[in-house]
């Protein structure tokens, strides 16, 4: 895992692991969590709610890493993992954690 973020409206919290190969800029990460991921979730949720049974998560494959974004009750959780990691497994783990802590 490279970093994790929690986005709740205009409130964004991030934590990055040390010794990350090719880290992205922290200000870039902040704006991704503030603008890009909420927008992607909105668009994909609207599509998913039409006739796909909703939206569970989004996986974005960047050149240096993979981003897993999961909608949460008041925002989203985003986890950045190394390329080649099992993003679907990470998404399921995030969903399970959210279910455990929101039930």
The band of 42, judged by pLDDT with boundaries at 50, 70 and 90, is: very high
Q: What pLDDT, in 10s, does the model give residues 48-78?
A: 999 999 999 999 999 889 999 999 988 999 9
- The tally of domains found in the chain comes to 1
Distance CA 102, CA 26 (A): 29
Q: Which residues contact 69 (CB under 8 A, 6 or more apart)?
A: 37, 40, 41, 57, 58, 59, 60, 76, 77, 78
Other beta carbons within 10 angstroms of residue 41's beta carbon come to 22
The band of 24, judged by pLDDT with boundaries at 50, 70 and 90, is: low
Say if residue 3's pLDDT is above 90: no
Please tell me the least confidently modeled range out of 36-40, 67-71, 81-85, 98-102.
98-102
Coil vs helix vs strand at 41: helix
Angular region, 34: left φ>0, alpha ψ -120 to 50, beta rest:
alpha
Instruction: Report the CATH number at residue 44.
Output: 3.30.450.30
Average pLDDT over residues 69-97: 94
pTM over 0.75: yes
Range of the domain at 90: 3-102
Other beta carbons within 10 angstroms of residue 88's beta carbon come to 12
Average pLDDT over residues 16-24: 67
């Amino acid at each position: 895992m490279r970093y994790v973020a929690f986005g709740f409206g205009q409130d964004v919290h991030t934590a990055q692991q040390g010794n990350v190969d090719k880290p992205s800029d922290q200000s870039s990460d902040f704006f991704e969590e503030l603008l890009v991921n909420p927008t992607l979730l909105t668009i994909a949720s609207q599509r998913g709610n039409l006739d796909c049974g909703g939206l569970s998560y989004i996986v974005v494959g960047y050149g240096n890493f993979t981003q897993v974004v999961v909608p949460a009750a008041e925002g989203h959780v985003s986890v950045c993992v190394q390329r080649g990691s099992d993003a679907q497994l990470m998404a399921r783990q995030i969903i399970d954690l959210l279910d455990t802590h929101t039930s």
